[in-house]
Amino acid sequence: MSAFPAFRRAATASTRRIPHFVRNEHRASLAAFATAASELSKQPTPREPPNFPCVEAHAARESKLQSINGKSGVKLTNESTSEDPSASGPEPPYARPNPSSYQTFSSKKPLPLVYYPESPLPQYDIAYETWGKLNSSKSNAILLHTGLSASSHAASTEANPAPGWWEKFIGPGKAIDTDQHFVICTNVLGGCYGSTGPSSKDPLDSNQAAYATRFPVLSIFDMVRAQFTLLDHLGIDKLYASVGCSMGGMQSLAAGWLHPERVRKVVSISGTARSSPSAIAMRFAQRSVLMADPNWKNGFYYDGLPPHTGMKLARQIATITYRSGPEWDQRFGRRFRDSPSQQPASGPRIPALCPDFLIETYLDHQGEQFCLKYDANSLIYVSKAMDLFDMTHSALTSLNLVSGDAQTPDLTATGSLHLTPPPPHLPDLAAGLVPLVNTPVLILGVQSDILFPADQQRECAAALKLAGNTQVVYYELGGVWGHDTFLLDVANVGGAIRGFLS
């Protein structure tokens, strides 16, 4: 305490004494009153409104996109039918990867769809990339499932040397060791990076227009079935492992569930077996701002400008759910965009209504970076598939994925996981997960994740155990990186995967 004499004096002031800087504050207040009166007589004009660069950015982006397209987005709708859209029509301006940088499996056979048993997808493409070599017995393949908006580019390749989204996890000697394994990553069905999705041409449309919102609502199971037709095409009967993070963690479970005899091991990181209402709420908020963008036009924007402002706003919301408050405390705190040296030496800094705190400029930047990189309709369809994912037996029954005769178990097997209280749907989830009963499963959760909270992974692991699976490995990580931990924590996430796969 002796190191802080000034503070201590104030803190131990008697109850009668008002600390000195409170008196100072009152003096400042009185001085401000006096200044106010004199200023008023000098300046009878109203204050000017501030500028709003964050709002102007939307209009600037719109103008830029119009100039790239060579014409107004509004006029485009009328003009597009008079031209050959494949020759001169505007391309969706989001950044598609170069088609030569990935491989494409094109299926001419229809794909059955969970929600439309009588109306399958007539044909479809699956974009994919591979790393490592398939061995002669074709027994070393790992199928990798991505998060919502990722492409098949999980790691650099000869065809595309840019770093992939899981660059540090895949390669010779890395957690997913390409010296040992043949790794396959696909762009998800419904996405926009080479696989068939809402931005693809509808083969039933005589004008070759995009599906837009004529695209069917997808299930995670549809996406995984499409992946297995690719495996058939590659002659891979049995996977060494199915590995996925976030939405990919759902798909990885679904892969092992759909084809227990074709998947040796399942890894599900920061995923869930049953999307929770709070995660649905966060994704609903994103879809809502996107669909309210006037450019969205019920999804039929492909011959005009995309809903880039809605996408930016949606990504801002999403970004909030990808990290954690503790990380922002450490990284940004309450610092402003201008450094202290740029701020007034004395007197208050006037705050702005546009991004002003560093946390705001960070969210703004994340939204701006993303808004032209991904197709809005893909965001809607893929996020909806995540919401719909539910491996409880009753949900699977309602989708005709299982027959309805399983019974719900009791809860005696869940004592080893901290679920207080166990959610009421746990027995139903356990009954749903029975097809995974003989598959070794690694479940990994992160305590700071607010989008897929660790309770979700705990409940999945508990349900698997309850179903009778004796080969469940459950890890729970600390740290401040939230949902994005699977992209960042190479040591712990990578280490858990390496141990489980070896």
Catalytically active residues, by annotation: 246, 449, 483
The span from the CA of 169 to the CA of 423, in Å, is: 34
The single residue among 96, 237, 332, 498 that binds its own copies, judged by CB under 8 A, is 332
Shortest gap between Cβ of 406 and its own copies (angstroms)? 5
The single residue among 73, 93, 423, 479 that binds its own copies, judged by CB under 8 A, is 423
Question: Of the two residues 167 and 360, which places its CB atom closer to its own copies in the complex?
Answer: 360
Helix H or strand E segment including 215: none
Give the CA angle between residues 437, 442, 443 to the nearest 5°: 100
Which residues have CB under 8 Å from 179's CB, separation 6+?
A: 132, 172, 173
Does 159 interact with its own copies (rule: CB under 8 A)? no
Cα end-to-end distance, the chain, whole Å: 55
Question: Of the two residues 244 and 355, which places its CB atom closer to its own copies in the complex?
Answer: 355
Q: x/- contact string, 202-241, with its own copies (CB under 8 A)? A: x-xx-----xxxx-xx-------x----------------
Stretch that binds its own copies, among 108-116, 129-137, 142-150, 161-169 (CB under 8 A): 108-116
The span from the CA of 248 to the CA of 291, in Å, is: 25
Q: Residue 118, Cβ neighbours under 10 Å: how many?
A: 6
Please provide residue 303's backbone torsions phi and psi, each rounded to the nearest 5 degrees: -100, 15
Which residues have CB under 8 Å from 101's CB, separation 6+?
A: 129, 153, 157, 159, 160
Restricted to residues 451-490, the positions that interact with its own copies (CB under 8 A) are 453, 467-468
Restricted to residues 283-322, the positions that interact with its own copies (CB under 8 A) are 284-285, 287-289, 291-292, 294, 296, 298-300, 309, 313, 316-317, 320
Does 132 interact with its own copies (rule: CB under 8 A)? no
Question: Of the two residues 144 and 402, which places its CB atom closer to its own copies in the complex?
Answer: 402
Question: Of the two residues 168 and 423, which places its CB atom closer to its own copies in the complex?
Answer: 423
> Got the DSSP string for 176-224?
EETTT-EEEEEPPTT-SSSS--TTSB-TT-TT--B-GGGSPPP-HHHHH
The span from the CA of 75 to the CA of 58, in Å, is: 19
Shortest gap between Cβ of 243 and its own copies (angstroms)? 21
* Cis amide leading into 294 (omega within 30): no
Does 62 interact with its own copies (rule: CB under 8 A)? no
Does 431 interact with its own copies (rule: CB under 8 A)? yes
The single residue among 342, 407, 420, 502 that binds its own copies, judged by CB under 8 A, is 407
